[in-house]
Amino acid sequence: MEMDITALFQLSYGIYLITSHDTDQKAGCLVNTVFQLTAEPVQIGVSVAKENQTHSVIEKSGTLAVLVMEENAPTKLLGTFGYRTGRDLDKFTEQKWEADCHGDPVTDAGVLAQLSCRVVKSVDLQTHTLFLCEVQEARNVGEGTPMTYRYYRDVKKGKAGKYAPTYVAPEKLKQAQEHE
């Protein structure tokens, strides 16, 4: 059977900034896989690449914040959290940040909603971990349209980082497009 990897581009994704902290470290990255699992209690799933520094901080702290990004989110903010690593720079210097109920950093810059979550279970997905979380607090902080991955890719000209679940190596993408 044929595998046209571009067929997966038709799945709908959002763009989310997730943050966490432990005693002496803040971490954050962009992800595109956050989804609601149950209504009572309110639970969500968040997929994070194991290679991301944010992953290890979430494992240590057991908490994370999900920030739902708006289409007009600052490109610099998206670039910092989408393409830079906290191993090389402090990503939290350019925005005003507050602490949520768990102490995880949150901002309202380019953000529609903030969810403060406690991890209740983790599922190993080889390259990623699916964190199953109970939402402890949720609030709307902005107005606008949630950013979809398609909007991020087509309008903002963002690309999937090599650890994103939607990443396709350039040579595989070129092969798929040649078969069209």
Distance between CA atoms of residues 174 and 130, nearest Å: 29
Entry pTM: 0.86
For residue 129, the one-letter residue type is T
Sign of the C-alpha dihedral computed for residues 65, 71, 77 and 79 taken in this order: positive
Q: List strand residue ranges (DSSP E) for the chain, in order.
A: 16-22, 25-31, 34-39, 42-49, 63-69, 98-99, 105-106, 111-124, 128-140
6 DSSP assignment? G
Residues 81-130: pLDDT tens digits?
A: 987 888 888 899 988 999 999 999 999 999 999 999 999 999 999 999 99
Residues 4-63: pLDDT tens digits?
A: 777 777 778 899 999 999 988 999 999 999 999 999 999 999 999 999 999 999 999 999
- Fold (CATH) for 5-178: Pnp Oxidase; Chain A (2.30.110)
Question: Partners of 46 in the beta sheet?
Answer: 34, 131
